[in-house]
């Protein structure tokens, strides 16, 4: 009987500090993903960088208000975008691809969400941000 709760705990999906949400869940992300965490201060924001055992790096860009305004990923495996994008996933999934999108490169330019992603087997990268949440003085070009 004790095995069932343990099995359910292991099957629970990891909770991410998703785009547009508060940063408070980053520590649980680290444990659930068995990732290492590194926090770097930036000009007008902090970056919480998680590196998974599989080698994928996820960066969560945190505004001074404590809100995740952008997420980026790079590595041999794509992360679960439903978890990373949180409430913005449906907008991502339903948005038309912008000019310049190809089979291997994705561009989405909406007022509420911008996404750039691409790659090929074992080399994926991407960046998603909410323009309205980007702190003043921070340019999208500074995000990687």
81 within a domain of the structure (yes/no): yes
**Domain extent for 90:** 12-132
Quick: pLDDT tens for 61-81.
Answer: 999 999 999 999 999 999 889
Per-residue pLDDT, 108: 97
17 within a domain of the structure (yes/no): yes
2 within a domain of the structure (yes/no): no
7 within a domain of the structure (yes/no): no
Quick: pLDDT tens for 78-113.
Answer: 988 998 899 999 999 999 999 989 989 999 999 999
Contact 107, 101 (CB under 8 A): yes
Q: How many domains are contained in the chain?
A: 1
Band of pLDDT at residue 16, cut at 50, 70 and 90: low
Question: How many angstroms separate the CA atoms of 62 and 48, rounded?
Answer: 7
6 within a domain of the structure (yes/no): no
91 within a domain of the structure (yes/no): yes
- As given in the structure block, the two tokens for residue 124 are 């994926």
User: Which strands form 57-62's sheet, in the order they lie side by side?
Assistant: 36-41, 46-51, 57-62, 68-75, 123-129, 114-120, 105-109
137 within a domain of the structure (yes/no): no
Q: Is the pLDDT of residue 27 over 80?
A: no
53 within a domain of the structure (yes/no): yes
Is the backbone of residue 20 left (phi > 0), alpha (psi -120 to 50) or beta? left
Question: How many angstroms separate the CA atoms of 125 and 144, rounded?
Answer: 9
| Cβ atoms within 10 Å, residue 16 | 25
């Amino acid at each position: 009987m004790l095995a069932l709760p343990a099995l359910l705990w292991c099957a629970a999906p990891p909770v991410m500090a998703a785009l547009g949400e508060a940063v408070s869940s980053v520590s649980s992300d680290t444990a659930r993903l068995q990732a290492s965490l590194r926090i770097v201060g930036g000009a007008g924001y902090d970056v919480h960088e998680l590196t998974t055992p599989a080698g994928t790096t996820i960066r969560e860009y945190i505004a001074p208000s404590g809100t995740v305004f952008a997420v980026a990923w790079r590595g041999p495996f794509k992360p679960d975008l439903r978890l990373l994008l949180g409430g913005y996933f449906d907008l991502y999934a339903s948005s038309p691809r912008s000019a310049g999108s190809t089979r291997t490169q994705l561009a989405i330019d909406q007022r509420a969400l911008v996404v750039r992603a691409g790659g090929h087997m074992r080399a994926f990268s991407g960046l998603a941000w909410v323009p309205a949440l980007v702190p003043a003085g921070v340019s999208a070009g500074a995000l990687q």
